[in-house]
Amino acid sequence: MNLAILTSGGDAPGMNAAIRAFVRRGLADNHTTWGIPRGFEGLVRGEPEALTAASVANILMTGGTILKTSRFLDFHQPDVRAAALHALGQWGIDGLIVIGGNGSLSGAFELNRAGAPIIGIPASIDNDIALTEYSLGFDTAVNNIVASIDKIRDTASAHERIFVVQVMGNQSGTLAIAAGLACGAEAIMIPERASDYDEIADRLRATYARGKRHSFIVVAEGAGSAQTVAQEIAQRTGQEAKWVVLGHTQRGGPPTAHDRIMAALFANHAVDLLASGTHGVMVRAHAGSIDSIPLAAVIDAEREPPLDWQDLAEILAR
């Protein structure tokens, strides 16, 4: 079979590990493996590249994606998707794997509905894709945030300051919650749950009263800006509050062992599914194993953040 792979939307650590696993597993089963550069845009405006075992050497430990990626809004248009479907037919592609987040999986669903044999692999540092317990990149992003906060903590402690740290998560607070729990944040602000500045200030004053002279607030970008939060908290507590936006450092760097392992398992299962004639599904982590679920179910569902983790983080920081 001629099997192809592309990465779409926001890059996530582990994408390269998945590409590597796809190629080497595919070649082991005598498939021909192709890469489509720059996501869905490459389907319409590019050409596939043959991928060999050598072409994916030494990418297991790298972030980003060797196939590049893009956010191709034109793919919402039916005529553009028709052009992509035509290209797949011209190239003789028997199966396509799409690695990406919610928008990319929606595009994969629409293209599959039009007739393209597609498997999705969830990849999002926000871990906000429904009906899977894990999305590639999440563990690396959490560890990147925790490592940054651990470094900031030295200054926070030395100067006895409050620090407000803004992390990614425009529509989902899962990343902020996990990072906040892991780093011992006094407060976590997310878009799915309203925050009360007065209540947070009261909590910080209580920690100060028992002798703790520095505190952290982790803010998902969709819940507000770190600068605004710092100003509001400083006014209410009378303490100095600094703010920092971690930005794209959260996405970068080598993927963790967990992301590398999940990438291998996801890609391995995706190749098995395509070889068996199955398509129109997303591989997922579920109940301790790797299986698949229809793309139609994924795009119609929403993933809720672990609010119990947020509550626990705030209890443990008191």
Active site residue 126: yes
pLDDT of residue 80: 93
Average pLDDT over residues 174-194: 97
Q: What is the mean pLDDT of the chain?
A: 96
The domain 141-252 belongs to what CATH superfamily? Phosphofructokinase domain (3.40.50.460)
**From 74, 79, 126, 128, the catalytic residue:** 126
Which band of pLDDT confidence, cut at 50, 70 and 90, is reported for residue 150?
A: very high
pLDDT in tens, 247-300: 999 999 999 999 999 999 999 999 999 999 999 999 999 999 999 999 999 999
CATH class of 2-137+255-299: alpha beta
Matching CATH topology for 2-137+255-299 and 141-252? yes
pLDDT of residue 68: 96
Spans of all domains in the chain: 2-137+255-299, 141-252
**Whether pLDDT at 240 is above 90:** yes
pLDDT in tens, 74-106: 898 999 999 999 999 999 999 999 999 999 999
From residue 151, alpha-carbon distances to 20, 260, 316 in Å are: 33, 25, 21
pLDDT of residue 204: 94
Alpha helices in 31-137 (DSSP H): 39-45, 78-91, 102-113
pLDDT of residue 265: 98
pLDDT in tens, 135-146: 999 999 999 999
pLDDT of residue 274: 98
Nearest CA among 24, 31, 3 for reference residue 97? 3
**Whether pLDDT at 212 is above 90:** no
Average pLDDT over residues 13-18: 98
In this structure, the strands spanning 281-286 and 118-122 are parallel
Average pLDDT over residues 204-227: 94
Average pLDDT over residues 124-141: 98
Distance between CA 65 and CA 19 in Å, rounded? 8
